[in-house]
Structure 1
Amino acid sequence: MSQSTPTPGDGDRVLEGTPRTVRRWVGSAAAELAEDDTDDRWLYVGPHDLRRTWGHLALEAEVLPSVLMQWGGWDDYETFQRHYLGSVRSVCRLEKRRKSTGSNSAFIVETNISSR
């Protein structure tokens, strides 16, 4: 019997570490970036920011929302839609624009992320 490579969302961890360890890794990297870049805003970056950025980049790369939800561990579609897909009206408007311009992009994302 062959063993398949685990995929995100199948219960296997991609990184081995506790949430506390991940926060420490992110905090350490952010502090290093703040020092190297002389931009203190890096000090406010946390694991949730990285997860949110990963989610947006995956959607821009045309990963299906249902697949991304499984990989990222999102359970509630309404919350996922609100934070990652924007309102239904916005998505419909953008889809209409995509069709009228002849864009080949399969998926368009509009979100309203407030700045800190």
Structure 2
Amino acid sequence: MRIDTDGDRVKCWLGRSEIDTLARRAPTREAELAIRIMGDCGLRSFEVIQICPKHKRRSEDGSAWLLRVPKGKDTRNGTGKARDTFLPAQTEQLLHSYQRDESLGMDEQYITVAPRSVRRWVEVAAKNAHETTGVDDWQHVSSHDLRRSWATYLLVEQRRNVRVVQSAGGWKDYDSMKPYLGEATEQAIVEELGAVKF
């Protein structure tokens, strides 16, 4: 986990294994699902509560799952803008299992609490992770750090196309994404610069 204390708020960047740890420390199965959706799909806390089974679908070629965010953040007119984001297969499987176990209809929300409760779930999971691991950095983790970590993982560690991540994450332009990006990880530095001949 990387921490940035410059500025008004502490910002955290979690690695994939740390997102797994956070999800496993969630207070309920519903909370674990919310953390997974935010950490694996880049959703905001107010977006995750909108998702119903009808919002997941196969891509046109059938090779992947997509998740429709019905009403994302729209800073231009405030009405909310729909978008599609990538839905990893393992996260789709969790959604499928949860829908089956809870007997959810196609129009029923997976996450049935307010955004504030979703944010609180992340705080509780982070507190539990802190108590389990003894790592103090967990005390700073917030729900927004999951979105930040998702973007950084795709852009910095996996070197995915910035325009694709911008579209999937619902950012209006590249400048609005800049605050979410942190420093390159040690692994990214070694891989990117290690191949250069000096």
Could you state the TM-score of these two structures normalised by the residue count of structure 2? 0.36
Gaps of 5+ in 2: 1-55, 59-64, 72-86, 88-109, 184-188
What is the match of residue 62 of structure 1? 159
Q: Which has the higher helix share?
A: 1
Q: For the residues of structure 2 that align with 1:43 and 1:85, how far apart are their CA atoms? A: 19
- Structure 1 segments (4+ residues) deviating >3 Å: 12-18
Report % sequence identity. 30
Matched positions, count: 89
- Choose between structure 1 and 2 for higher RCO, CA contacts under 8 A separated by at least 6 residues: 2
Output aligned runs, 1:31-110, within 5 Å: 31-59=127-155, 60-81=157-178, 83-84=180-181, 101=196
Q: Partner of 2:66 in structure 1?
A: 7
SS at match of 2:138: helix
Measure, in 2, the Cα distance between the counterparts of 1:77 and 1:21: 30
Q: Deviations over 1:78-111 (max 9, x none)?
A: 131464388xxxxxxx9xx86x827xxxxxxxxx
Q: What is the CA-CA distance between 1:56 and the residue it aligns to?
A: 0.6
Provide the secondary structure at the position in 1 that maps to 2:172: coil
Distance change in 2, residues 1:82/1:23 (3 Å): closer
Q: Structure 1 residues 73 and 21 mapped into 2: Cα distance closer, same or farther (>3 Å)? A: farther
Which structure has greater strand proportion? 2
Unmatched 5+ residue regions in structure 1? 87-93, 103-116
Aligned match of 1:16 = 111
Alpha-carbon RMSD:
3.4
